[in-house]
Amino acid sequence: MAVHVIYGSDSGRTKAVAGKIAAKLDAKIINVSNATTTDFEGCDLLVLGSPTYGDGDLQTDWETGVDVLAEADLTGKKVALFGLGDQNAYPDSFVDAMGTLYDAVVEKGAEVVGFTDTKGYEFEGSTAVRGGQFVGLVLDQDNQAAKSEKRIASWTSQIL
């Protein structure tokens, strides 16, 4: 099974997490700033990750990355999402970028897998919550880094 992990990262935390996820999924890892439509289309499972910046925005490279994604045909493709954020400093827009990626891939016909429980996180609002669950894996390296290894292990086995 071909798996592609496509990520964007400003200060390196999402890059580090993408590496761990890719290792567990035996995946090819691609920085979104280099990603082509073929990178989005040419796999059986597509894994996308972004931290949230500004006030609920995508990481900068993803701003153009979503335009490349919009050119890809993801009809019926299984897509899993992960997002990094800071629930203490940004409780009203916690991991919103993952909600933006969710809308973008659903728009292209993808089937999103790997929803997770919001239990264990404290925040006020997030566009990454749909139907009471996060649309993917949520990691808070600023406040809950100690929980991340276990969260990554459980999520990667869930999506496999």
Ligand X SMILES: Cc1cc2nc3c(=O)[nH]c(=O)nc-3n(C[C@H](O)[C@H](O)[C@H](O)COP(=O)(O)O)c2cc1C
Token pair of 115 as six digits = 């929803």
- CA 112, CA 84: separation in Å to the nearest integer? 18
Q: What is the distance between the alpha carbons of residues 42 and 3, in angstroms, rounded to a whole number?
A: 9
Please give the Cα distance from 152 to 51 (Å, whole number).
15
Among 4, 9, 40, 77, binds ligand X (CB under 6 A): 9
Please say which residue, 52 or 100, places its beta carbon nearer to ligand X: 52
Of positions 53, 62, 115, 121, contacts ligand X by CB under 6 A:
53
Q: Which is nearer to ligand X, 87 or 156 (CB)?
A: 87
Instruction: Note whether 10 binds ligand X by CB under 6 A.
Output: yes
Distances in Å between the alpha carbon of 101 and those of 21, 63, 67, 145?
A: 18, 10, 11, 23
Interface with ligand X, residue 85, by CB under 6 A: yes
Alpha carbon distance 57, 151 (integer Å): 23
Least distance from C-beta 12 to ligand X, angstroms? Answer: 5
The count of residues interacting with ligand X (CB under 6 A) is 22
User: Which residues of this protein are in contact with ligand X, per CB under 6 A?
Assistant: 9-14, 51-56, 84-86, 90, 93-96, 141-142
